[in-house]
Each structure stands twice: as structure tokens, then as C-alpha cells.
Amino acid sequence: MAHNPLAPEWLSPPADANTLIDGLWPASAHRANDGAITIGGVSAPDLAARFGTPLYVIDETDARSRAAELRAAFDAEFARIGTTVKVYYAAKAFLSTEVARWMVDAGLNIDVCSGGELAVALAAGVAPGRIGFHGNNKSLAEIDDATRLGVGTIIIDSPIEITRVAAAAARHGAVQNVRLRVNSGVHAHTHEFLATSHEDQKFGVVFEDAPALVAAIRAEPSLNFLGLHCHIGSQIFGVDGFAESASRLLSLQADLLATGPVPELNLGGGFGIAYTSVDDPTPVRQLAAGLADIVAAECASRGIPVPVIAIEPGRVIVGPAGVTLYEVGTTKPVQVGENTRLYVSIDGGMSDNARPALYGAEFSVRIADRVSAADAALVRVAGKHCESGDIVVDADYLPGDVAPGDLVMVPATGAYCWSLASNYNYLGRPAVVAVVDGEARVIVRGETIDDLLARDTGISRSAHGVSTSSTSGEGSTSTTSEDVKETTR
Ligand code: LLP
């Protein structure tokens, strides 16, 4: 089919709009004989019938394997240069107690950035010593809890936190391991990185101030300085940005070693994933090798020992393991000049995937319950919110006979979708279902109307008269069904 001029330049018409593009989908995703997309051995129609839509689906084996493979790759590459790596899973990408346990099973630690994330990690049984605590404005209560509960490391983000953390640790008779987050001046997004001497942003301390602040940390008897930390951004392809930042941090490391020990260096997270057919993220093994080479070379040229390395990836572990399943409610061809764009409206939207509205992020889509021989049509997948920017997939091609009642799946929604979800327009946040070996189970249940009303002090909970089986609205599988779906139990 010919390119539709309304499509962005990067998007080519596919040879077959039913094909699941390599690299975008969970490892187990494929089309079964009946054409339905199957993940973890469970088909999309079965998932929709059992749990309703919208629904987040996560391939458990895939998430676990990505965590284990990432750890193995970094272990191997950094063993080659004579050191070890601590991998922290960045819980902000997606956190539930189950997922925290998967990460710990794979040998990862957990990076949290609020008292809420800390509570989930602890509820999962994560040993406090395996947790790193981030944040540019940790509350005094959060700092107190972290030092009292024995959180493994606290990442100090501003000068003022040095005395706060020191005082809290002293109060609890603890010696708290801390890192100092430094603004390396390197900021990266996808392919390009920007390096400035002094970046204007809220995270970390100014590079030039680090020596004096490390001296202040070392002077506190209740603090143990583990090393420097930097995080240069998210959804980054290639090694160059990380290499530049590592190089800057290691020059600082060399200076700091003159006055005391600096056993570790934390290089943050940010490894990118594919959301569309044209995204080409650097494979994890290649990233690990590139980073190990640069760390080894920088340490050798400065004559300093190679530190223990820490990293904090989130997206690359859970992003590709998750998909979102929706039901199509309406379709509407919109003529723009000579060309047509087909609007496909689904039963979720910016409340379950805020990334397109927040960042202009691109996603892809496929019909999930059948294949079709119809000619491909340029579609825009829109949500059901009262807002024109409520778009989930700005542009992709689907078989042109896509119709109300079809199920569609959006891949690569495992990171920063559920965790950024909202109740905009009083839609309930969807359930999260883990699939593995033909079994599906709810790991976070969906919100009901009762959940949404639970905090409103002016309403009697039973007074609304609306079906409690779902909050996603008319036409969704879960509201039209008579019986209460498993998501609400
Ligand atoms: N470490 C720190 C200190 C971070 O701030 C972040 C992400 C990570 C690690 C994990 O980064 P990852 O490996 O997942 O890229 N909501 C945005 C992304 C925000 C990332 C915030 N920090 C998005 O959906 O693109």
C-alpha cells in the first residue's frame, strides 16, 4: 500500500499490518492458529473475557529473563575489567510486590524514590539492605524511616540532605551508607546527548561543589560515603552519553581518592527500548561491554582502581514485557484534504498511558483477536477522555476493517504506564495481570467505582447506582458483562 501523506515520515506502510514487529513485543507473544495474539500462553480474547478491558498484561517469564539477562551481561562484562556490579531495579518504572520479588529472585536490588515505593518493596519482603532511596525532596519522615529501617543506601541529592540524613542516622544509632548524586552536565535523550559544564536542573549537586560536599559527608560519623551517583536521562540509545558521564565522574573520583576511599560508582539508569518499527536500541550486552571498556580505560588513564559499579535500569527490564489490551468502541474516518485518517477510539486512554500526552511518545498497535486481509489503513488510536490530546498511538497502520468490538493491543507499555496512571475523568486504573505458562493471574486489581468514591467524604458509598464491575465506561467488556469480572474481586 502507498504511504499515506498524513503519516509521519518515519512510518512506512507495513507489508502486513497483522505482523508483530520483532523487538516490540514480549518474548512469548505470537499469533495463535485462530489469529489471536497470545502472551504467556493466554490469548487476548481469553484475557478480555476474564478480566475486562483496558488491561495491563505482563509476561512474567519475559520480565524475569530481562532482569536476569541484564544482570548476567553486566556481571560478565565488568568481571572482565576486574570488578563487580550492583544492579538496582528502578521501581518507578513499575512496582508491585510481585514484580519486586521477581527482581530480587533475579539477583537485583530495588531503587525507590518515595515512602510509598519503599512501603511496597518492604511489603514484598525485600531486605531493607537491598534498597536504594532516591529523591530530590525526601521528607524528614521518609529519611527517618529509611535510616530506622536500615535502607541500604540513601542517595543524597542536595547539600541540605547531608545534615538531615546524618541526624536521622545518629538518632537511630546507625551508620548510613550514602551516595552523592552529582549533576555531570551530561543530559541525554535517545540518540543525542548534551554536555554542559553546569546544568540547570533540579537533580543532584553541582559538579564543582562535589569535593566539599564529600568532605562534609566524610566528616559525619553517622554517614559512610559509598561513592558518586549520576543519572543522565531516560530512553537513551547508544553508549556515548553514558561514556561521557562516566568519564566526568571518574575524573572527580580520582580527586576524591586523594582524601579518602570511594569504593563505588553509580551510573544510573536510562537504557532505551523500542516502541516503534524504527527504534533501534542498543542491546544490553553491548551497553555493558561499552560501559566496562570506558570505565576500565578512564581508570587506567588516571591510575585509579576500578570501583564497584552500580546501575539503576527500569524501563529496559519491564517495558517490553508489558502490553495494554483495549476494546475498540468507535471508529471514524476523518478526511484531511485528499487523505483519510481512521480514528480508532478505545476504552482507555491518557489515564492508563500518559506518555504520548506528556512526552509526545510514540507507540504501536495491532488488532489482537483476529488477523485480517483488509488493506492497511493509517490509524490514530484515541482514548475516551474529554481532551483532544488524549491519544495512545499517534500513527500506525492497522487492517482497514478494524471495527467496534475488536480487541487491540499496544506493546511496550510495561514501564511508566501503570506507574503514571491517573483517575482523570474518574476512570479507574486498570488491573495488571501476569501471564505465564498458560496461566493468568491478577497482580494488581483494577479500580472500581467504589474505590473511586472511597475517599470522597460527602458520598454514601452505595448511593451511586453505577455498576461496580468497572470504571472504564460504556462499551467496555467489563461494564457490559452481567457478572463481576475477576479484576474486581
Ligand atoms: N535512576 C534514576 C535516578 C532515575 O531518575 C530514573 C528514571 C532511573 C534510574 C530509571 O530510568 P530508566 O532505566 O527506567 O530509563 N516517565 C518517563 C521516564 C522518567 C524517568 C525518570 N527517572 C517516561 O515515561 O519516559
CATH number at residue 228: 3.20.20.10
- Taking only the tens place, the pLDDT of each residue in 45-96 is 999 999 999 999 999 999 999 999 999 999 999 999 999 999 999 999 999 9
Q: 299 CA distance to ligand 1 centroid (A)?
A: 27
Query: Does residue 180 have a pLDDT over 70?
Result: yes
Residues 256 and 240 in one domain: yes
Cβ neighbours, 10 Å, residue 355: 20
Q: Assess whether the C-beta atom of 313 lies below 6 angstroms from ligand 1.
A: yes
Eight-class DSSP state of 418: G
What φ, ψ does residue 340 adopt, rounded to 5°?
A: -125, 135
- Domains identified in the chain, total number: 2
Instruction: Mark whether 377 and 438 lie in a shared domain.
Output: yes
Same domain assignment for residues 311 and 327: no
Q: How large is the average pLDDT for residues 429-442? A: 98
Looking at the structure, do residues 267 and 326 belong to the same domain, yes or no?
no
| Same domain membership, residue 310 and residue 257 | yes
Closest C-alpha residue for ligand 1 atom 15: 270
Residue finishing a domain among 268, 299, 318: 318
Does some domain include residue 365? yes
Centroid of ligand 1 to alpha carbon of 90 (angstroms): 7
Task: Indicate the residue among 282, 299, 318 that finishes a domain.
Answer: 318
The per-residue pLDDT for range 121-139, each reduced to its tens digit, is: 999 999 999 999 999 999 9
Residue 34 Cα to ligand 1 midpoint, Å, equals 38
424 neighbors 40 (Cβ within 8 angstroms): no
Please indicate whether residue 386 is annotated as part of the active site.
yes
Output the furthest CA–CA distance in the chain (Å, rounded).
73
Atom of ligand 1 nearest to the CA of 93: 14
In our burial notation (b when 16+ CB lie closer than 10 A, e otherwise), range 269-285 reads: bbbbbbbbbebebbebe
Final residue before a domain boundary, out of 318, 350, 377: 318
Same domain, 366 and 273: no
What's the pLDDT tens digit per position in 210-251? 999 999 999 999 999 999 999 999 999 999 999 999 999 999
Same domain, 108 and 230: yes
Find the domain containing 177 and state its range: 83-318
Do 360 and 223 fall within a single domain?
A: no
Strand 109-112 and strand 131-133: the pairing is parallel
Q: pLDDT-based confidence at 187, cuts 50/70/90?
A: confident
Whether residues 114 and 23 fall in one domain: no
- Whether residue 427 is contained in a domain is answered as yes
Whether residue 291 lies inside any domain: the answer is yes
How far is it, in rounded angstroms, from Cα 472 to Cα 469? 9
For residues 350 and 428, membership in a common domain is answered with yes
Q: Are residues 312 and 198 in the same domain?
A: yes
Residue nearest to atom 21 of ligand 1 (CA): 234
- Check if 319 has its Cβ closer than 6 Å to any atom of ligand 1: no
Give the confidence band of 474 by pLDDT, cuts at 50, 70, 90: very low
Residue 65 falls within a domain, yes or no?
no
